[in-house]
Every structure is written in C-alpha cells, then in structure tokens.
C-alpha cells in the first residue's frame, strides 16, 4: 500500500468515525489500533471520545505489538514489536491460540 486516500477514511454516512462504524480502512490503520485497543478493557462502560462525541471502538486487536511503557496519566505510550514465538508461529496464529484458550477459561 503506497498511501491512504482521505476518502477511504470516511464511513458510509460521510464523516470520519473512530468507533465501530468506522470505515474498514480506518480500522486497519496501525495508529488507530494502537491508540484504541486498550480503552474498553480499562473502562467499566463504553468509552467516549469527548472531543469527537463518538463512542470508542469495542473490538480492536493488535497481534504484533505489546505495550512497553505507559505514563501515569496515559499521555505517553511506547510499544515494542513482540518477540518471535518459540514454535516459529507468526503473531496472528499465537493470538488466535491464546484467544481460544482464554475463551475456555485457561489463563497464562
């Protein structure tokens, strides 16, 4: 992919959206995923972007990165690329495997 055209970031109704009704291109962007993947797990209820007055996305996953540092007030986040798996699986396969175990109640 060479770049993203602005029109691809609009949802079906026309404006930008960051929530569950965001365009597929917006949901695919790494910046979008790194920013929003953690919020709904940290909050007891549906989180809101108060500036845009939109609910935050509820189903954001990242398989290739992990949080290395987050400042006390959430102003600075630093991520690192996950280490390679010992069994030579790619990050997506490991995430699927861990997700299946978690759904069965098995914790690491």
For range 58-77, the mean pLDDT: 84
Alpha carbons 19 and 37: distance in angstroms, whole number: 11
Question: 82 near 91, Cβ under 8 Å?
Answer: yes
Tokens 């055209």 locate to 5
Q: Does residue 94 have a pLDDT over 60?
A: yes
For range 10-25, the mean pLDDT: 84
For range 70-96, the mean pLDDT: 80
Q: What share of the chain is helix, strand, coil (3-state, %, to 5)?
A: 30, 15, 55
Query: Which pLDDT score, from 0 to 100, does residue 9 have?
Result: 85
**Average pLDDT of the residues of the chain:** 77
Band the pLDDT of 105: cuts 50, 70, 90.
low
Q: Does residue 7 have a pLDDT over 80?
A: yes
């Amino acid at each position: 992919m060479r770049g993203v055209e602005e029109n691809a970031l609009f949802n079906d109704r026309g404006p930008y959206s960051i929530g569950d009704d965001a365009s597929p291109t917006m949901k695919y962007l790494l910046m979008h995923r790194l920013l929003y993947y953690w919020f709904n797990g940290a909050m007891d209820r549906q989180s809101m972007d108060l500036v845009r007055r939109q609910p935050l996305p509820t189903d954001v996953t990242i398989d290739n990165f992990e949080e290395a540092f987050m400042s006390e007030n959430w102003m600075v986040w630093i991520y690192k690329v996950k280490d390679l798996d010992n069994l030579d699986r790619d990050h997506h396969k490991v995430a699927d495997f861990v997700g299946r175990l978690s759904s069965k109640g098995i914790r690491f």
